[in-house]
Structure 1
Amino acid sequence: MQFFSRLSPVRAYQDLRRFFGARQPYELGFLLLAMIVTTFFVYAFAREGGGTEEYRPDIIYVEQYRLDRTDAEIVAQQKIDGAAKAKLLAERRRLELERQASFKRLDDKLKSVGL
């Protein structure tokens, strides 16, 4: 079991100390700088990814219609559904126009400062 005797923490510390002792001061400075930059990016990505919400798919249920419906019942249901669909489309259009207006304001501000 000579292999395990080489894995002692004391020998690891001595080896690390010899390694750093043989380095020039500027090499240790660059090592420290590389460790700081790497730590910053790992921290930034870890912090950014922590606030994500669980994905929930949009489930669309399909209504079952009777096979023996009359044409009048179909037309009446289409009028009811058409009014709800028109309301939904109007709301989507309003939100889209608001978003476009906010982007337009942002673009105007950027143009005013020369960007």
Structure 2
Amino acid sequence: MMPTGFFTRFAPIRAINDLRHFMALQKPTHVVFLVLSLMLTMAVLLGFVIDSHVERPYKRNIVYAENWRADRSEAEIRAAQLREMAVKTRRDIVYEKKQADLKAQFKRLDDKLEKWGI
């Protein structure tokens, strides 16, 4: 006994022949515009597929923690804080210098654009 579902009556060769006969009855301009519309639709869909793929670089998030002795003296703690403060101050000076350089570059660009009337 054969199943009587929809796809049991479906034959790919008959479907292709049916489509070919239908398209033969259409005007040539209809066929041209059908092909153009299908190509445009596929181009838009392909653009979305290509644009949706974004590479996300793997970025490590490593957190280092110091392990201090429990019997440190106050003098050792203050000396460590002074060393850390000196490192932070140097880092801040470098950061401020980079910010000042960047600000100067933008100022030069703004002056050039102002000179050109923009």
Question: What is the TM-score normalised by the length of structure 1?
Answer: 0.62
SS of corresponding position for 1:69: coil
For residues 68 and 6 of structure 1, the distance between their equivalents in structure 2, rounded to whole angstroms, comes to 87
Q: Which moved more, 1:37-46 or 1:85-94?
A: 37-46
Within the candidate set 53, 60, 64, 1:61 is matched to 64
Aligned length: 109
- What RMSD over aligned residues (CA atoms) do the two structures have, in Å? 3.4
How far apart are residue 26 of structure 1 and its match? Answer: 2.9
| Corresponding letter in the other structure for 1:74 | I
TM-score by length of 2: 0.60
CA distance in 1, matches of 2:68, 2:81: 12
State the distance in 2 between where 1:102 and 1:56 align: 32
Unaligned runs of 5+ in 2: none
Specify every segment of 5 or more residues in structure 1 that has no aligned partner in the other structure, as ranges. Answer: none
**Alpha-carbon offset, residue 90 of structure 1:** 2.2
Aligned to 2:40: 33
Higher Rg: 2
